[in-house]
Structure 1
């Protein structure tokens, strides 16, 4: 690949090429490509003048030695007892596995390789306003994992993940500076303004009070007295305490107490997921006046029979109610059994325009770039996909795979697919990393977008085919399935890429992933993937309800959550890896 040079020369204390990489120098967000210039906008100027974490000088400096500390190569949380409620402690790390399905690794490559790029992936943070009236906690009566005991602690848990990234000594294998963090969707859980504000502050820094409704105390299922849910502040023997969950006086007061995020010390980019775009992650019900009013109102349903819960859950899983009409009727039918809570307008659903405006808000700029990948062009066009320059030789492409027609599985429209094809062609001299929320296998929902009823939707197999037709695609990085899975994709003619799906930060084992791209200088490229946990200690102390103590407890509660799948860490070949492929 020939190098793609910057569109501007250095006029500041750092090289202009690097500044443009941090600011997203290639932006094609509305389907029209352009490169940022110094006169493009005041926003671009502000981004150019902001300090960047990966200057040209830093890249040219001697790399840090490979390291394992702070990664899952060194240690992973593991249970210390074998039955009942299981306490966590330091467990052995996960080894690195070399995968050669797409190319044969050649000896001596470690001494030859040069770094192309290095970044961190967050995915499925699911920051939750757990007191929101429109939540489906009551589905737990038919499915124990439909509500999870750790859900009140998503904010301190996510802040601890930010703290972990800030403490990393560059990329674990090469020691190269990390270029950015990309979060691949489901940043929020229920499409609520309250959650969106918390997400922006977790990532860019600020004080957060993860509370809504009554500012004085928690109002929700965990102090409802219902034995269906863990009642941490009560001595009531609920179903979770029968499994060994602790009595923790003061837990709920601590869970809604103000916390502080330092914000990432790297630029960060954002990709949208179905839980960000759709109420409850599945209903194309924006504009429904009843549901909009219920979201901010003073009534909350907390308990239904197992038979009723199963009927609703089946409708969601089978996508028989994508518009939420049946869900609205379900709530109306149970109006008399709802409990009173404090109304709060901050719980209102947010639109795609609201999502973009939050990212473009200077208050949430952090270390940039302005818009975190999104631009005013996205706002004007009503799109949520874009491309950006990662480094001299690599571009990033962020897709919007949510289907606005409803349901939690994804697809892309024809306009976006054509834009993706054009973007890859226009940047054929650069390697490409594609980001999305949905995986190739979960892009099975091709119902029409109500805003574009005449536009066809395209599934994951079609996206794989398109990506494989371009020799410059190295990886497709995504989430959604809450599980570590790495899949090789190979097309005729030897063109190939790796699909890297990473576990969530809501369901155990609470992971993020560092990805390093290196040229082995022997006709092959290696992608190193290294999983990381949050900075919170593996061991918990039930007496420690500090911000850090809650982050540690968040992980342990998730490990013990009834009904939780035990396979989400994936196999060794899906965790810490070296993924080898031929140069396109």
Structure 2
């Protein structure tokens, strides 16, 4: 994906929340050969590394099998899922040539997993704006009440991963690249931290005896799984009647927690309600009035404000909420829905009781509370450094950027781990680093979604866009990849440079709330020929691809399978997938399971 592509192809959040039109990104053409997965012999490794490796084979990934649409529609346009063939591994040689014999020479350096865009959601929150579905069916998801069950199944899958299929190393940690929660609320953050660290979660708010969201509102705009009489929009499309669904999705369930450490990167939904609204809306979030529908003119005005991004105080939405308060549904107020400040978000991560498998803070330290800084660096492995950056605006916008202070910090951090770099004029500069550590950068936003829009919460600080970040990273030949999310699309983009060693990869991974529900396994290896390879392998949750024949399995496992299937049946998606149009969300072959070659200093 390049910065020249239209916004409709690169920012699905804009489509869902503002534009009212869904346009899927097309599959990426990529140079390289498609190879079947195979475990090749490795060169001798240091004894310490050998003893650290597991002997268990790796768990099933998308190299072996993937969820695919089944045969004829179940009813209407609703299609069941089945297990299909895996996706092959593609050698991407866009920025470095593959050299013969590298599989026999290479030694493993690091192995880890990326989660992104989990969007753990309290679907009964009064501040949610589901009413935008009157403009487009994709503005509300039928699967949103299942985010916790689906994420628990993803944690369970990671806990079963053995050796990485290419490096032989077990995953050492998980990095979440933002939008961990959906509405910037305290209760969602509590669920997310419990999900990652282990414990009991009750995905319910308000009245503990009664669901108070859109799915029992009586409005045909939304899927009512327990109402046989209402022929709502989604049932007409073929979504099933599932008695007991709302009771099941609000039942307690238990996450085993990750057995490996995890790190956190912040996203716009973690920082802002709805990912784009003003932090000054707390009274509505904890209040007792939930607006389920609005006149078309109000929906259009709100969508326009979201699209322009010129309403940082959310005055348009405030006016709509106040104007229609009398017609809003009365719900049970719940203080747990309070909006989070950046300080709250950091403090919750730093709570020792929420350390799980570690580390305490999950990348953040008490020093980050000074100024509420959400960027840091950490050691991935010997001679491999990770850098997590904060690309969010703090005043009502879904786009990303870096402030001047953070950009300068990023430059200093890159230089500290580099023995050489290039200045802005292309001159070679000797750096303070004794050796060139391999550097991996993590963020929520991907480069096309980062702009120079001023941040109303930090008006005195210039903002920097994705092109400027790419230019900075390309000055350091030891940068291997920039890994991110936000787009809800799998896309791997080379950032080539005339000086080949200054080229690097941008790896953008799809969400775990929308089709195709992927996490990504990364393996970094040294080919011992002046190149490294970064292997990427997509991972699905542990939930079976097939749902129960009569939709009567409402266990946690059954709900996780249903979560995936409902997402694959989003309005218009199943039909367009058959024609290949929606391959863009899953990415082309070169955006999925890959070997990404990179020349190193």
**What TM-score results when the alignment is normalised by the length of structure 1?**
0.88
Residue by residue over 1:17-40, the C-alpha shift from the partner in whole angstroms, topping out at 9 and shown as x without a partner, is: xxxxxxxxxxxxxxxxxxxxxxxx
C-alpha distance in 2, partners of 1:161/1:237? 33
Given the superposition, is the C-alpha separation of residues 350 and 146 from structure 1 closer, same or farther in structure 2, using an over 3 Å criterion?
same
Preserved contact between residue 120 and residue 182 of structure 1 (Cα < 8 Å)? yes
Preserved contact between residue 122 and residue 181 of structure 1 (Cα < 8 Å)? yes
2:438 aligned with 1:431, yes or no? yes
Match of 1:486 in 2: 492
Query: Residue 531 of structure 1: SS of its match in structure 2?
Result: strand
Matches within 5 A, 1:457-472: 457-472=463-478
Query: Residue 370 of structure 1: SS of its match in structure 2?
Result: coil
Matches within 5 A, 1:384-533: 384-428=374-418, 429-450=436-457, 452-494=458-500, 495-533=502-540
Displacement of 1:307: 3.6
Displacement of 1:58: 6.8
Name the count of aligned residue pairs.
524
Selected match of 2:557 from 548, 553, 556:
548
C-alpha distance in 1, partners of 2:48/2:262? 19
Preserved contact between residue 56 and residue 162 of structure 2 (Cα < 8 Å)? no
Match of 2:138 in 1: 145
Match of 1:557 in 2: 566
Preserved contact between residue 95 and residue 503 of structure 2 (Cα < 8 Å)? yes
Displacement of 1:448: 2.9
Selected match of 2:71 from 69, 81, 84:
81
2:325 aligned with 1:362, yes or no? no
Query: Residue 568 of structure 1: SS of its match in structure 2?
Result: helix
Query: Residue 161 of structure 1: SS of its match in structure 2?
Result: helix
Given the superposition, is the C-alpha separation of residues 414 and 298 from structure 1 closer, same or farther in structure 2, using an over 3 Å criterion?
same
Which ranges of structure 2 fall in alignment gaps of 5 or more residues? 1-45, 419-435, 577-581
2:287 aligned with 1:281, yes or no? no
Residue by residue over 1:460-504, the C-alpha shift from the partner in whole angstroms, topping out at 9 and shown as x without a partner, is: 000000000011110100000000000001223221110000000
Query: Residue 586 of structure 2: SS of its match in structure 1?
Result: coil
C-alpha distance in 2, partners of 1:86/1:310? 32
Selected match of 2:266 from 251, 261, 272:
272
Query: Residue 102 of structure 1: SS of its match in structure 2?
Result: coil
Selected match of 2:287 from 297, 318, 335:
297
Match of 1:246 in 2: 240
Selected match of 1:260 from 242, 245, 254:
254
Residue by residue over 1:411-441, the C-alpha shift from the partner in whole angstroms, topping out at 9 and shown as x without a partner, is: 0000000000000101112111000000011
2:600 aligned with 1:583, yes or no? yes
Query: Residue 101 of structure 1: SS of its match in structure 2?
Result: coil
Query: Residue 499 of structure 1: SS of its match in structure 2?
Result: strand
Match of 1:25 in 2: none
**What TM-score results when the alignment is normalised by the length of structure 2?**
0.85
Preserved contact between residue 197 and residue 355 of structure 2 (Cα < 8 Å)? yes
Preserved contact between residue 469 and residue 491 of structure 1 (Cα < 8 Å)? no
Residue by residue over 1:532-570, the C-alpha shift from the partner in whole angstroms, topping out at 9 and shown as x without a partner, is: 000000000111000000000000011112155823101
Preserved contact between residue 66 and residue 175 of structure 1 (Cα < 8 Å)? no
Given the superposition, is the C-alpha separation of residues 80 and 244 from structure 1 closer, same or farther in structure 2, using an over 3 Å criterion?
same
Superposition CA RMSD, Å: 1.5
2:207 aligned with 1:214, yes or no? yes
Residue by residue over 1:195-250, the C-alpha shift from the partner in whole angstroms, topping out at 9 and shown as x without a partner, is: 00000001111100000000112111001111100000110211101111110000
Preserved contact between residue 225 and residue 242 of structure 2 (Cα < 8 Å)? yes
Match of 2:186 in 1: 193
Displacement of 1:98: 0.4
Displacement of 1:318: 1.7
Given the superposition, is the C-alpha separation of residues 445 and 538 from structure 1 closer, same or farther in structure 2, using an over 3 Å criterion?
farther
Displacement of 1:143: 1.1
Residue by residue over 1:102-160, the C-alpha shift from the partner in whole angstroms, topping out at 9 and shown as x without a partner, is: 11001111111111111100000000000000001110010101101000000010010
Displacement of 1:68: 6.4
Preserved contact between residue 483 and residue 507 of structure 2 (Cα < 8 Å)? yes
2:586 aligned with 1:569, yes or no? yes
C-alpha distance in 2, partners of 1:150/1:459? 33
Query: Residue 373 of structure 1: SS of its match in structure 2?
Result: coil
C-alpha distance in 2, partners of 1:477/1:554? 26
Query: Residue 361 of structure 2: SS of its match in structure 1?
Result: helix
Displacement of 1:455: 1.3
183-192 or 397-406, which moves further after superposition?
Answer: 397-406
Match of 2:432 in 1: none
C-alpha distance in 2, partners of 1:485/1:167? 26
Displacement of 1:334: 1.3
C-alpha distance in 1, partners of 2:396/2:572? 26
Displacement of 1:445: 4.5
Match of 1:38 in 2: none
